[in-house]
Amino acid sequence: MTVVNFGSEDYPSANGTMRAIMLICRSIPQIRDAVATLRASGGSVGLVTTMGALHAGHMSLVSHARADHDHVVATIFVNPTQFGNPDDLLTYPKTEDSDLAMLRDAGASAVYLPDASEIYPDGAETIVETTRLANMLHGLVRPGHFRGVATVVCKLFNIIGADAAYFGEKDYQQLQVIRRMVADLFMPITIHGVPTVREPDGLAMSSRNVRLTPQDRAAAVCLNKALTRAQEAARNGATVEAMRDLIAETINAEPRARLRAIDIAEALTLAPVTGHPAGDIGIMISAEFGPDENPVLLIDQREIRK
């Protein structure tokens, strides 16, 4: 087995005491060997799956995983089956060197970076789909997206064999899809949702933010503003319909934003809610910025607990 170390030597931590090596694995045998080595001393493994272009939101997943486990394994794979629009796939940012440096500095023990041909070899035909959750709300706007997510996440879980995996709450529907898949298929892994990390002005961190022009970047703050107004209204007893109106009004007041969706649903199940919600709810919104022919679609979310 060849496991390639990042850099040629150990590196000191910020306080100069601890030394560590991050294993870089580009094939299934390599990452399985790496995980077996990490586990040899009885250590537990937390997994962070990513599509690269890492930012502070991903690092928050890594630090939650590190807090709970002896080792963190990360994956970097831009999964083609979750992209409906080929341009979106082609323009997805690729920043492998800085991703690896960030993961190494955050204390990840191993990283798996497969080729698409390893994840989807010729002849592969099995897909995983949460039939209800994948085909509602954001799934209607992006047909096949959550099927692609569930399929790749299932494959990565089977390849790595981690004890737990960490996903951002920003992708709220994705998180519920993964929780459902794990429960339905009796997968021996614990799923943790991690709160959204925001820029100082409230914009949710996203790999797509780098594609925004400075003007659109400034305008994009309207998503968080809309969610904050809806949350305040919920605290004051607003109905779901009133929250929806408030969100639409806030986003439509920003001329650079094109509102795409406002979904307000029961938390976890994403079942429809109307009137005064009886329990916890999830609000998921999306808006586009930039040119019509190649827009930047941003999503944001807020879970409101009773």
DSSP SS3 for 122:
coil
With CB under 6 A as the rule, give the number of residues binding ligand PAF: 10
Is residue 58 annotated as part of the catalytic site, yes or no? yes
Site for ligand PAF in 232-291 (CB under 6 A): none
Closer residue to ligand PAF (CB): 20 or 185: 185
| Of 50, 151, 209, 286, the one binding ligand PAF by CB under 6 A | 50
Min dist. Cβ of residue 268 to ligand PAF (A): 18
Query: Which of 82, 79, 76, 81 shows the shortest CA–CA distance to 112?
Result: 76
Q: How many angstroms separate the CA atoms of 134 and 148, rounded?
A: 10
Using rule CB under 6 A, residue 165 touches ligand PAF: no
Alpha-carbon gap, residue 135 to 146, rounded angstroms: 8
Which CB, 152 or 273, lies closer to ligand PAF?
A: 152
Per annotation, catalytic residue among 55, 58, 138, 145: 58
Least Å distance between CB 150 and ligand PAF? Answer: 9
**Alpha helices (H) along 2-131:** 28-40, 56-68, 86-90, 96-105, 116-119
Give min distance, CB of 87 to ligand PAF, in A: 18
Q: Does 109 bind ligand PAF (CB under 6 A)?
A: no
**137: phi > 0 → left, psi -120 to 50 → alpha, else beta; which?**
left
Bridge partners (DSSP) of residue 262 are 285
Q: Are 266 and 281 in contact (CB under 8 A)?
A: yes
Residue range at the interface with ligand PAF (CB under 6 A); choices 90-98, 146-154, 259-267, 292-300 = 146-154
Interaction site with ligand PAF (CB under 6 A): 49-51, 79, 82, 149, 152-153, 171, 174
Q: What residues are annotated to the active site?
A: 58
